[in-house]
């Protein structure tokens, strides 16, 4: 049978004692083998059955990545239940919606998120049984006392739940095998909620076959050696990307998953990544543009702090590495490679090895997903010697549609379409685009979702005759790589109805202007295009020092000059009507706290538009970068930066 449970059984037989999942505890890194995960998840399944849960019931999971998360979800699936993985960054209101909508009867939660769950508790239409993936302590008991959640009745500890399952299965050791025999390939095993970049979240129903097919097809493109690799899981496990590229690929290749230390709360997740990288020494990493972009900025800043000589070797080496790599597929001329040889070799000997040590000593490559990765990052990390192979997908496709890989890649593209997936680029509902011509990406394969939970109208809108209409725009280039250009529903629209992708322009700005941290380009039936930007404070600080700038007016003029340099690079590739005529500087970065970016660090455009509606309208009133609003933003930014 093509099920994830069968994949787990085969992995337990093949890799037995090899570490599958590992986390850091007070006594150090503690791991569970493939065999132990298989056995323990049987026990968890038994506990669900003892409690009276039946096939088709939903079970929510809200926790940071950890072994109990993995064991718990496998237990859910083995019992015939449906897992509903949720992001730890959700608000209590958002948690309430998803638990109610999915009709979850049981809810696995960690100590770190229990306060959110207690806030959401009154909103649950039918409160689920809570399973705490930890043990009760004084802080937990204090929180429960202040809430209406009753220990023993509403919530049970992980150890107690495991004990229940073990005692129940001791009476019937073949029970789980009999239950598993009823599990089918097309059974829904996950309801994954969209992050809502374009509206209310929808519950995506993914099946055993969806994941089985996507995992097997992915490994026909991505080279991962058998039984040798490990990774540090920096992405939340609620993502389908982490499921396929992390959990399920591991089952086929015996990879060890080490989870970032989250003790002390989610705020420690980011802080612990650097030390956990050194401790776990990963072979590969799964990343999203926001994480890799942060690494790139810190690397550049850290090397610059070493002095002009080292920085010169590094920057010249990166430039030379980019030149010698070309686009990764079409190699540059022999003369170009000769010119790049010395500066690249010098940096490769003197600087690059020390920089790469922040990732440990074994990292070979990264797999990028979650959002479009600008070519600037792709070129940088490839030149450094730890390439990020960008892929493309969406949860409705379980999620991988195509990816670059070591043996075949092309920077600036999303890679090769997986075998088993048929793709079309559609100019309209009936007209297919020619090669190189942009249209909507439409796919078909065993990885396509069953549909949206309790939302037939939304399902019918995107699933037509077995084809998934992704809502994303792109084209197949001359070398048969897919180039994704943006969301169809996020298009800029001129007064006469002409449309253009904002991502093209945003990537150009980010690639050519180090000052810009974030950008959202805007045009909704307007006479000209505008943009909201946030600035990189360290770079602003350097600009002020370099030019001895004192007044906000002088700083703003310098910022304008620097930002607008991108226009020179795009004048021949982007029509003038789509190049922003003016920009508004937002002094505070777009954040998850304000719900302006989602859990995969994608910009939630409609929310940014609503949040900064007054700033957008102001641009259309005066069309002038040198305005009082931008001056105030500069004052706020420079006031928070030490310019001494």
Mean local confidence (pLDDT), 82-106: 94
Say whether both 473 and 521 belong to one domain: no
Say whether both 395 and 533 belong to one domain: no
260 three-state secondary structure: coil
Q: Is the pLDDT of residue 208 over 70?
A: yes
Tokens of 174: 């073949």
User: What's the chain's Rg over C-alpha atoms?
Assistant: 25
Boundary (domain end) residue, out of 461, 490, 519: 490
Tokens of 144: 């429960």
Let me know if residue 196 belongs to a domain: no
- Locate tokens 């088993």: which residue? 420
What is the band of 203 on the pLDDT scale with cuts at 50, 70, 90?
very high
Let me know if residue 608 belongs to a domain: yes
CATH number assigned to the domain comprising residue 121: 3.40.50.12780
- Locate tokens 């019937």: which residue? 172
Let me know if residue 256 belongs to a domain: no
Q: Is the pLDDT of residue 84 over 70?
A: yes
Boundary (domain end) residue, out of 490, 512, 541: 490
Give the pLDDT of residue 195: 64
Let me know if residue 230 belongs to a domain: no
Say whether both 18 and 110 belong to one domain: yes
Helical ranges in 51-102 per DSSP H: 67-78, 92-102
Q: Say how many C-beta atoms besides its own lie within 10 A of residue 434's C-beta.
A: 10
What is the band of 334 on the pLDDT scale with cuts at 50, 70, 90?
very high
Let me know if residue 240 belongs to a domain: no
484 three-state secondary structure: strand
Pairing of strands 203-207, 582-585: unpaired
Give the pLDDT of residue 200: 67
Q: Is the pLDDT of residue 529 over 80?
A: yes
Q: What percent of the chain has pLDDT over 70?
A: 98
**What is the per-residue pLDDT across 16-63, written as a single tens digit (0 to 9) for each?**
999 999 999 999 999 999 999 999 999 999 999 999 999 999 999 999
CB 244 within 8 A of CB 38: no
Q: Is the pLDDT of residue 583 over 80?
A: yes
Say whether both 482 and 506 belong to one domain: no
Average model confidence (pLDDT) across the chain: 93
CA distance 279 to 27: 14
CB 131 within 8 A of CB 108: yes
Say whether both 447 and 586 belong to one domain: no
What is the band of 592 on the pLDDT scale with cuts at 50, 70, 90?
confident
| Residues 6 or more apart whose Cβ sits within 8 Å of residue 618 | 584, 627, 629
Q: Is the pLDDT of residue 307 over 70?
A: yes
31-45, 106-120, 541-555, range with the lowest pLDDT: 541-555
Q: Is the pLDDT of residue 413 over 90?
A: yes
Say whether both 415 and 504 belong to one domain: no
* CA angle at 239 for the pair 47 and 52, rounded to the nearest 5°: 20
CA distance 318 to 491: 34
Q: Is the pLDDT of residue 196 over 70?
A: no
Instruction: Give whole-number Cα distances, 125 to 100, 200, 201, 578, in Å.
Output: 6, 19, 18, 47
Angle between helices 67-78 and 4-15 (to 10 degrees): 120
What is the band of 496 on the pLDDT scale with cuts at 50, 70, 90?
low
User: When comparing pLDDT for 573 and 549, which is higher?
Assistant: 549
Say whether both 318 and 438 belong to one domain: yes
Domain hosting 30: range is 4-183
| Residues 6 or more apart whose Cβ sits within 8 Å of residue 437 | 425, 427, 475
Let me know if residue 249 belongs to a domain: no
Say whether both 307 and 391 belong to one domain: yes
**What is the per-residue pLDDT across 277-301, written as a single tens digit (0 to 9) for each?**
999 999 999 998 888 988 999 999 9
Let me know if residue 50 belongs to a domain: yes
Total domains, the chain: 3
Say whether both 295 and 439 belong to one domain: yes
Q: Say how many C-beta atoms besides its own lie within 10 A of residue 203's C-beta.
A: 22
Give the pLDDT of residue 201: 85
Tokens of 613: 């509606």
62-71, 246-255, 489-498, range with the lowest pLDDT: 489-498
Q: Is the pLDDT of residue 393 over 70?
A: yes
Let me know if residue 211 belongs to a domain: no
Boundary (domain end) residue, out of 443, 467, 490: 490
- Identify the CA nearest to 33 among candidates 3, 13, 53: 13
Say whether both 442 and 551 belong to one domain: no
Give the pLDDT of residue 462: 96
**What's the pTM?**
0.84
DSSP for 215-243, written as a single string: HHHHTTTS---TTT-EEEE-S-TTSHHHI
Say whether both 450 and 468 belong to one domain: yes
Q: Is the pLDDT of residue 644 over 60?
A: no
DSSP for 297-361, written as a single string: HHHHHHHHTT-HHHHHHHHHHHHHHHHHHTTSSSPPPHHHHHHHHHHHHHHHHHTHHHHHGGG-S
Say whether both 560 and 473 belong to one domain: no
What is the band of 504 on the pLDDT scale with cuts at 50, 70, 90?
confident
Q: Is the pLDDT of residue 640 over 60?
A: no
**What is the per-residue pLDDT across 419-463, written as a single tens digit (0 to 9) for each?**
999 999 998 889 999 999 989 999 999 999 999 999 999 999 999
CB 64 within 8 A of CB 108: no
């Amino acid at each position: 049978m093509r099920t994830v449970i069968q994949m787990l059984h085969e992995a337990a037989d093949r890799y037995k004692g090899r570490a599958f999942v590992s986390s850091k505890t007070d006594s150090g890194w503690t791991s569970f083998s493939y065999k132990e995960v298989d056995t323990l998840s049987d026990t968890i399944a038994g506990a669900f059955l003892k409690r009276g849960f039946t096939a088709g019931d939903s079970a929510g999971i809200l926790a940071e990545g950890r072994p109990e998360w993995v064991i718990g979800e496998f237990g859910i699936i083995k019992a015939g239940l449906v897992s509903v993985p949720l992001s730890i960054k959700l608000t209590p209101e958002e948690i309430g919606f998803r638990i109610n909508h999915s009709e979850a009867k049981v809810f696995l939660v960690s100590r770190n998120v229990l306060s959110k769950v207690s806030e959401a508790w009154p909103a649950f239409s039918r409160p689920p049984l809570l399973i705490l993936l930890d043990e009760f302590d004084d802080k937990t008991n204090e929180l429960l006392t202040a809430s209406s959640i009753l220990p023993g009745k509403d919530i049970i500890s992980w150890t107690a739940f495991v004990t229940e399952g073990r005692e129940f299965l001791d009476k019937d050791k073949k029970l789980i095998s009999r239950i598993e025999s009823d599990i089918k390939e097309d059974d829904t095993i996950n309801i994954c909620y969209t992050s809502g970049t374009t509206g209310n979240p929808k519950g995506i129903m993914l099946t055993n076959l969806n994941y089985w097919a996507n995992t097997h097809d992915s490994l026909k493109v991505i080279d991962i050696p058998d039984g040798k690799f490990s990774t540090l899981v920096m992405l939340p496990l609620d993502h389908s990307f982490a499921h396929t590229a992390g959990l399920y690929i591991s089952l086929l290749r015996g990879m060890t998953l080490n989870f970032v230390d989250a003790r002390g709360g989610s705020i420690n997740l980011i802080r612990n990544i650097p030390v956990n990288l050194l401790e776990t020494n990963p072979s590969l990493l799964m990343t999203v543009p926001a994480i890799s972009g942060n690494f790139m900025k810190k690397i550049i800043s850290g090397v610059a702090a070493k002095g002009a000589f080292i920085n010169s070797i590094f920057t010249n080496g990166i430039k030379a590495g980019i030149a010698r790599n070309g686009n990764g597929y079409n190699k540059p001329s022999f003369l170009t490679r000769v010119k790049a040889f010395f500066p690249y070799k010098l940096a490769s000997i003197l600087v690059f090895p020390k920089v790469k040590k922040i990732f440990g000593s074994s990292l070979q490559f990264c797999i990028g997903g979650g959002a479009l990765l600008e070519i600037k990052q792709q070129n940088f990390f490839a030149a450094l010697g730890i390439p990020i192979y960008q892929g493309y997908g969406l949860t409705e496709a379980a999620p991988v549609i195509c990816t670059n890989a070591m043996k075949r890649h092309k920077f600036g593209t999303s890679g090769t379409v997986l075998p088993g997936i048929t793709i079309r680029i559609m100019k309209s509902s009936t007209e297919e685009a020619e090669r190189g011509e942009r249209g909507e990406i439409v796919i078909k394969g065993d990885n396509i979702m069953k549909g949206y939970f309790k939302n037939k109208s939304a399902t019918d809108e995107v699933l037509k005759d077995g084809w998934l209409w992704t809502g994303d725009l792109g084209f197949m280039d001359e070398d048969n790589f897919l180039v994704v250009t943006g969301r169809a529903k996020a298009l800029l629209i001129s007064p006469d109805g002409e449309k253009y992708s904002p991502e093209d322009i945003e990537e150009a700005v980010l690639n050519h202007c180090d000052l810009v941290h974030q950008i959202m380009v805007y045009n909704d039936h307007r006479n000209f295009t505008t943009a909201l930007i946030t600035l990189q404070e360290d770079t602003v600080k350097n600009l002020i020092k370099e030019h001895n700038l004192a007044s906000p007016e002088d700083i703003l003029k310098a910022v304008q000059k620097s930002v607008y340099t991108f226009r020179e690079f795009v004048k021949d590739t982007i029509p003038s009507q789509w190049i922003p005529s003016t920009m508004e500087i937002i002094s505070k970065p777009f954040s998850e706290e304000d719900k302006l970016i989602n859990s995969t660090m994608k910009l939630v455009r409609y929310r940014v538009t609503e949040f900064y509606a007054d700033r957008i309208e102001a641009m259309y009133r005066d069309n002038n970068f040198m305005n009082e609003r931008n001056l105030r933003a500069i004052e706020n930014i420079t006031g928070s930066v030490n310019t001494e």
